[in-house]
Amino acid sequence: MSASAPLAAFACVLRRDLLLALRRRSDVATTLFFFVIVVTLFPLGVGPEMSLLRTMAPGVLWVAALLASMLALGRLFAGDYADGTLEQLVLAPHPLGLLVGAKIAAHWLVTGLPLVLLAPLLGLAFDMRAEALGTLTLSLLLGTPTLGLIGAIGAALTLGLRGAGLLLSLLVLPLYIPVLIFGAGAVEAVAGGLGPGAHLSVLGALLVLALFFAPWAAALALRISLE
């Protein structure tokens, strides 16, 4: 086996998952549609007053993005679990954490990145200013991968259980709180005239932490769920 074999395996899993997602585009559309509709519900619930909506916008967009990415988690391992691919991955000679990392990366590219790109558009409907929109995009760009990484642990733990979706939300949502606080906080800081630097660096630190630990924890959880 050559030294680049693990990297090749990573790329292989990534390419495969992206191809699969491309063939089932409706899944991606569902996540995005959920995001849009949740955001739409808020003005209908609290009233169309623009100044109120503007203050609420960072929180609303972040909570909606968080819920949407949580909803998408169910599909991270479920398909591979159903057709037995996951057991092949566990038995593969490459470190499972790396392969899980590739799956998470593909999952984020398919469900997380579109959210990030769509968010500023929805922010316009809340009358957000340009620099706030920029910070929103940046904070989501740093935050949503962390959500996917943490969520992968929960998805692996609940694999194949009764009522896995609801259980997953109970496990994962409390762990999402720091990301939500610093993500929405960054946008609020900009809207309040402060720099977003501190918030964004914490978000970055959380991402690095999650990148280091979450794939291995998810891999361990997968092994437990599959044995």
Partner 1 sequence: MDRHIRVGARRRVRGAINLYYYAAPRTFYPLAGRMARVFYAVAVVLGAIGLYIAFFVAPTDAQQGEGYRIIFLHVPAAWMSMFLYVVMAFWAAVGLAFNTRLSSMMAQAIAPTGAWMAFLALWTGALWGKPMWGTWWVWDARLTSELILLFLYLGFMALQAAIDDPRRADRAGAVLAIVGVVNVPIIYFSVQWWNTLHQGASVSLTRSPSMAATMLWGMLVMALAFWMYCLGATLTRVRAIILERERRSDWAHELALGKERDA
Residues near partner 1, by CB under 8 A: 150, 153-154, 157-158, 161-164, 167, 170-171, 173-175, 177-178, 181-182, 185, 188, 202, 206, 213, 217, 220-221, 224-225, 227
Q: Exposure pattern of 123-150 as b/e (b: 16+ CB <10 Å)?
A: beebebeeebbbbbbbbbbbbbbbbbbb
Q: Which is nearer to partner 1, 131 or 192 (CB)?
A: 192
Q: Shortest distance, CB of residue 40 to partner 1, whole angstroms?
A: 26
CB atoms within 10 A of CB 30: 15
Q: Is the separation of the CB atoms in 175 and 149 below 8 Å?
A: no
Shortest spacing between CB 37 and partner 1, in angstroms: 26
Min CB(21)–partner 1 separation in Å: 27
Question: Nearer to partner 1 by C-beta: 71 or 152?
Answer: 152
Question: Least separation, in Å, of the C-beta of 25 and partner 1?
Answer: 32
Q: Closer to partner 1 at the Cβ: 5 or 224?
A: 224
Q: Residue 75 is encoded by which pair of tokens?
A: 């599909």
Residue type, 223: R
Say if residues 111 and 31 touch (Cβ distance below 8 Å): yes
| Nearer residue to partner 1 within complex by CB, 105 or 153 | 153
Of 69 and 158, nearer to partner 1 (C-beta) is 158
Task: Work out how close the CB of 135 gets to partner 1 at its nearest, in angstroms, rounded to a whole number.
Answer: 15
Residue 26 vs residues 29, 33, 75: alpha-carbon distances, Å: 5, 10, 12
| DSSP collapsed to 3 states, 34-53 | HHHHHHHHHHHHHCCCHHHH
